[in-house]
């Protein structure tokens, strides 16, 4: 899956991409076409490039050079379409020749600047031959016109035309006009020939141009990724192995919002093993955010980004499959339960095909009756536990007998002193840490949350009676 498609599926990914300090439209296009990397070797190489770029940004000897490079990158125009025209043998117009010349000039300047940072510029081929072809005067000025340097016949014809036009000022002499038109036609024919010749000659440099386009875009993307890693305190993940684990995992968008409100954000530690894992916890316990964060971190890693954590070990997967409880399929005429079951069935079929999957299912079967809901959760958890997947399933259901790992969110912690828990500070009194769950403890925090939210006391009293009766 290309990154562009993943933006619509992975929560928080668009937020991270929009924050990238990418300088050119070219780089943005190339970035959106980035593949989901499943090769450990390829991914390791990409992450090491980001790491080396990050070090260069923090090195006083190379940081100024990268500053100059970014200025040049901001001047880059996307000539991908023109490059394809060259490959097809299309004769370029003056605007297209201008764009190719400008790109080649910038590419050469970037290549020169990166001499002392070779890992960034190693894939950037020399376009000096292109520059010399389109700049016979050697001015190195970012402009283009069919000058007399391209054809020796142009200078005398242009001089002749200028003389004729001077004589025609205020004159209606038809013979002079015919002479002028004939000379102008000769000039235009020569200019068309120059364009055709230049386009033909450029075709021999088509491969280098294509490589340079990709290399320039990659440099822009790498610098942006490295800057983001520094600004957002992202970490380079260790990849490979059978277990994914994070220390200090966080959801960047939520963290920023809470910090702007001077509210506490609690990173968490989590380990995702092969098989399935059930996570229980009350509403507002952060289960959905956890799943979104796991999906985001896996995606960022396998698209070649650093991840939002203090440290990370990431086992690679072929696909990330996500079913979240707040999604609806009203337009298709399906109920929430119906839409959820179709997603779960898709997950099951993918697992049967032996794909390596990260499966994240939020509040499985929550919209059906509890008896059948528990049965579905147990069935899905048991099935996925025997597959080549890493599955996290959150649920409200207690007493689940599935033969898999079980965790729960710690939940509310006792307030100290005279501090009153309110809707504004409730997050400060929830411990989002995950602990092992033996399945016997049932969190009874829904009534407490309802009370904090201001639900009528009569309802709460009656609900407490019902709870005691059961």
Q: Give dist(CA 98, CA 432) in Å, integer.
A: 58
Integer Rg of the chain from CA: 32
224 versus 332: which is more confidently predicted? Answer: 224
For residue 326, pLDDT beyond 60:
no
Q: How far are the Cα atoms of 124, 361, 412, 446 from residue 284, in angstroms, in the given order?
A: 50, 17, 10, 9
Q: For residue 249, list its beta bridge partners.
A: 268
d(CA 284, CA 281): 8
Choice among 23-37, 97-111, 331-345, 439-453 with the minimum mean pLDDT: 439-453
Judged by average pLDDT, the poorest of 23-32, 54-63, 244-253, 333-342 is 333-342
Strand order in the sheet with 268-272: 238-239, 311-314, 244-249, 268-272
Q: What is the 3-state secondary structure (H, E, C) of the chain?
A: CEHHHHCCCCCCHHHHHHCCCCCCHHHHHHHHCCECCCCHHHHHHHHHHHHHHHHHHHCCCCHHHHHHHHHHHCCCCCCHHHHHHHHCCCCCCHHHHHHHHHHHHHHHHHHHHHHHCHHHHCCCCCCHHHHHHHCCCCCCCCCCCCCHHHCCCHHHHHHHHHHHHHHHCCCCCHHHHHHHHHHHHHHHHHHHHHHHHHHHHHHCCHHHHHHHHHHHHHHHHHHHHHHHHHHCCCECCEECCCCEEEEEECCHHHHHHHHHCCCCCCCEEEEECCEEEEEECCCCCCHHHHHHHHHHHHHHHHCCCCECCCEEEECCCCEEEEECCCCCCHHHCCCHHHHHHHHHHHHHHHHHCCCCEEEEECCCCCCCCHHHHHHHHHHHHHHHHCCCEEEEEEECCCCCCCCCEEEEEEEECCCCCCCCCCCCCHHHHEEEEEEECCCCCCCCCHHHHHHHCCCCHHHHHHHHHHHHHC
Model confidence over 184-208: pLDDT tens digits? 999 999 999 999 999 999 999 999 9
Residue 244 pLDDT > 60: yes
| Angle 14-18-20 from CA coordinates, rounded to 5° | 120
Indicate whether 241 pLDDT > 70. Answer: yes
Instruction: State the average pLDDT for the chain.
Output: 89
pLDDT of residue 416: 54
pLDDT at residue number 102? 97
Does residue 387 register a pLDDT over 60? yes
CA atoms within 13 A on the CB side of 112: 10
Instruction: Answer whether residue 330 shows pLDDT above 50.
Output: no
- Name the more confident of 215 and 331: 215
CA quadruple 150, 154, 159, 163: dihedral positive or negative?
negative
C-beta separation of 290 from 362 below 8 A: no
Q: How far apart are CA 213 and CA 25, in angstroms?
A: 12
Contact (CB, 8 A) for 460 and 445: no
At 184, list the tokens: 């102008």
User: If you average pLDDT over residues 101-126, what whole number do you get?
Assistant: 95
Spatial separation of the C-alpha atoms in residues 7 and 32, rounded to whole Å? 9
Per-residue pLDDT, 250: 96
User: Using one digit for the tens of pLDDT, what is the confidence trace for 261-297?
Assistant: 888 889 999 999 999 999 987 666 688 999 999 999 9
With beta carbons less than 8 A apart as the criterion, state whether 351 and 388 touch: yes
Query: CB count, 10 Å around CB of 452?
Result: 18
- Residue with more model confidence, 176 or 111: 111
pLDDT value of position 164: 84
pLDDT score recorded for residue 144: 93
Domains within the chain, CATH numbers bracketed: 20-148+196-226 (1.10.1420.10), 235-443 (3.40.50.300)
Q: What is the pLDDT of residue 195?
A: 96
Beta bridge partners of 344: none
| pLDDT in the model for residue 331 | 42
pLDDT of 167 reads 83
What's the pLDDT tens digit per position in 146-188? 999 999 999 999 999 888 888 888 777 888 889 989 999 999 9
Would you say residue 338 has pLDDT above 90? no
Q: Assess whether pLDDT exceeds 50 at residue 78.
A: yes
At 398-440, the pLDDT tens digits run: 778 888 999 888 877 765 555 666 666 666 667 788 888 776 5
pLDDT of residue 172: 78
Length of the chain: 470
Is the pLDDT at 442 greater than 90? The verdict is no
Task: Please give the distance of CA 167 from its chain centroid, rounded to a whole number.
Answer: 63
Mean pLDDT of 94-115: 96
Contact 30, 221 (CB under 8 A): yes
Residue 307: CB atoms within 10 Å: 24
Pairing of strands 244-249, 311-314: antiparallel
Kindly tell me if the per-residue pLDDT of 357 is higher than 60. yes
Taking the mean position of all CA atoms in its chain, how far away is CA 212?
Answer: 22
Q: What is the pTM of this model?
A: 0.88
Assign 3-class secondary structure to 225-237: HHHHHHHCCCECC
Mean pLDDT (whole number) for 380-402: 90
Q: What are the φ/ψ torsions at residue 200 (nearest 5 degrees)?
A: -65, -45
Tell me what percent of the residues of the chain surpass a pLDDT of 70.
88
Neighbours of 49 (CB within 10 A): 20
User: How confident is residue 441, by pLDDT bands cut at 50, 70 and 90?
Assistant: low
How far apart are the C-alpha atoms of 30 and 37, rounded to whole Å? 15
HEC string of 13-38? HHHHHHCCCCCCHHHHHHHHCCECCC
**Given this model, what pLDDT does residue 282 score?**
67
pLDDT at 431: 79
């Amino acid at each position: 899956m290309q990154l562009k498609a993943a933006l619509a599926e992975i929560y928080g990914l668009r937020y991270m991409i929009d924050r990238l300090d990418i300088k050119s439209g070219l780089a943005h296009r190339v970035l959106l076409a980035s593949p989901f990397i499943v090769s450990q070797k390829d991914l390791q190489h990409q992450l090491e490039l980001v790491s080396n770029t990050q070090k260069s940004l923090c090195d006083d000897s190379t940081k100024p050079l990268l500053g100059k490079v970014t200025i040049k990158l901001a001047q880059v125009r996307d000539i991908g379409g023109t490059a394809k025209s060259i490959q097809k043998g299309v004769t370029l117009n003056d605007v297209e020749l201008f764009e190719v010349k400008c790109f080649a000039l910038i590419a050469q300047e970037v290549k020169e600047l990166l001499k002392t940072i070779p890992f960034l510029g190693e894939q950037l081929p020399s376009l000096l031959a292109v520059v010399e072809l389109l700049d016979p005067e050697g001015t190195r000025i970012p402009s283009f016109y069919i000058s007399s340097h391209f054809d020796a016949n142009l200078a005398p014809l242009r001089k002749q035309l200028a003389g004729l036009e001077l004589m025609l000022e205020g004159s209606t002499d038809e013979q002079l006009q015919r002479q002028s038109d004939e000379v102008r036609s000769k000039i235009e024919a020569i200019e068309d020939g120059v364009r055709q010749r230049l386009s033909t000659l450029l075709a021999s440099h088509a491969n280098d141009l294509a490589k340079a386009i990709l290399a320039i875009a990659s440099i822009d993307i790498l610098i942006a990724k490295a800057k983001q890693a520094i600004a957002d305190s992202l970490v380079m993940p260790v990849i490979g192995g059978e277990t994914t684990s994070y220390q200090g995992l966080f959801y960047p968008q939520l963290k920023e919002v809470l910090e702007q409100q001077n509210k506490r954000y609690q990173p968490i530690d989590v380990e995702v093993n092969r098989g399935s894992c059930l996570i229980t916890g009350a509403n507002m316990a952060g289960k959905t955010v956890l799943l979104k964060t796991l999906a985001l971190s896996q995606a960022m890693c396998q698209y070649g980004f650093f991840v939002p954590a203090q440290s990370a070990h990431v086992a690679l997967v072929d696909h990330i499959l996500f079913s979240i409880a707040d999604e609806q399929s009203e337009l298709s005429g399906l109920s929430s339960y119906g839409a959820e079951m179709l997603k779960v069935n898709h997950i099951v079929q993918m697992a049967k095909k032996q794909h390596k999957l990260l499966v994240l299912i939020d509040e499985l079967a929550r919209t059906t009756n509890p008896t059948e809901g528990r049965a579905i959760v147990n069935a899905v958890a048991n099935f996925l536990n025997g597959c080549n997947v890493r599955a996290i399933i959150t649920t409200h259901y207690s007493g689940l007998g599935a033969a898999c790992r079980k965790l729960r969110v710690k939940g509310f912690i006792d307030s100290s002193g005279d501090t009153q828990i309110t809707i504004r500070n409730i997050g400060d009194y929830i411990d989002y840490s995950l602990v092992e769950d033996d399945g016997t403890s049932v969190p009874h925090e829904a009534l407490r949350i309802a009370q904090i939210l201001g639900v009528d006391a009569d309802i709460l009293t009656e609900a407490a009676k019902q709870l005691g009766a059961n």
